[in-house]
């Protein structure tokens, strides 16, 4: 059961334009979400997070929007730069007893064309 | 502050062998988690350690095990390697007061021939 879904495996955007990456979740108990960026053969790098008490969080060129009623979040990158080309994962912490693990989406490969 | 470090970065083994991977968390972080990344399954949770205790384990066979030392460094072991164990193994650490935010190491690329 894929509790966090990224339905677009890839996205291509022109440099300077906006990149919008989408993520859906099914578990209404999720109350915190994270976006990670990953280059090949490297570990994921934390980008930005959002708590369910907010509907928007902004950090420089990166903004994450959360729509709890739709169980949907999106990451906006403005303006997009070639160095943003990477795989982006959304993730949600799952709490079960004393454990804490991240449930990841399948990732979206972003290609920013110069 | 130094990030999460993992050794070795690359490893080639043959079927039936065993392997041990090492992870040093960010200084002060006591929670260490391990994940497996494969093209088909994405990023899958293996297990989490806190204060030398395994808190939970993902849906992996008993061939996958781990441990954590008193200095929070962690190791994971895979015995009787199978071809399907070829993957990028990622270690992540988090602080006690913000366990949701996990910082990842560069990973160990394991290839099983």
Distances (CA, A) of B1 to B5, B26, B28: 12, 7, 10
Return the bridge partners of B2, or none. Answer: none
A45 pLDDT tier (thresholds 50, 70, 90): very high
Q: Determine the distance from the C-alpha atom of residue B112 to the mean position of all C-alpha atoms in its chain, rounded to a whole number.
A: 17
Say whether residue A102 is in contact with chain B using an 8 A CB cutoff: yes
B100 pLDDT tier (thresholds 50, 70, 90): confident
Give the closest-approach CA distance of A52 to chain B in angstroms.
13
CB contact under 8 A, A41 and B109: yes
Residue B52 pLDDT more than 70? yes
Contact present, A51 and A64 (Cβ < 8 Å): no
**Nearest by Cα to B28 from B99, B110, B109:** B99
**Nearest by Cα to B87 from B44, B43, B38, B14:** B38
* Rounded mean pLDDT, A31-48: 93
Can you give the pLDDT at residue A96?
Answer: 65
A2 pLDDT tier (thresholds 50, 70, 90): confident
């Amino acid at each position: 059961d894929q509790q966090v879904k990224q339905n677009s495996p890839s996205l291509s955007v022109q440099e300077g334009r906006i990149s919008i990456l989408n993520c859906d979740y099914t578990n209404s108990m999720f109350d915190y979400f994270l976006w990670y960026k990953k280059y090949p053969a490297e570990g994921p790098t934390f980008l930005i997070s959002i708590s369910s008490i907010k509907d928007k969080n902004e950090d420089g060129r990166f903004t994450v929007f959360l729509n709890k009623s739709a169980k949907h979040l999106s990451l906006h990158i403005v303006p997009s730069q070639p160095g943003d080309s990477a795989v982006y994962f959304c993730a949600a912490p799952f709490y079960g007893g004393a454990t804490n693990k991240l449930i990841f989406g399948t990732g979206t490969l972003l290609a920013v064309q110069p | 502050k130094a990030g999460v470090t993992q050794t070795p970065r690359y490893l080639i083994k043959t079927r039936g062998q065993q392997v041990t991977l090492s992870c040093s968390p960010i200084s002060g972080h006591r929670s260490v988690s391990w994940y497996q990344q494969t093209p088909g399954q994405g990023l899958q949770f293996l297990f989490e350690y806190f204060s030398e205790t395994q808190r939970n384990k993902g849906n992996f066979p008993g061939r996958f095990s781990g441990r954590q030392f008193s200095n929070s460094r962690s190791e994971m072991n895979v015995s009787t390697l199978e071809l399907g164990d070829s993957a990028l193994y990622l270690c992540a650490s988090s602080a006690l007061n913000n366990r949701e935010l996990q910082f990842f190491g560069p990973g160990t690329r394991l290839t099983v021939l």
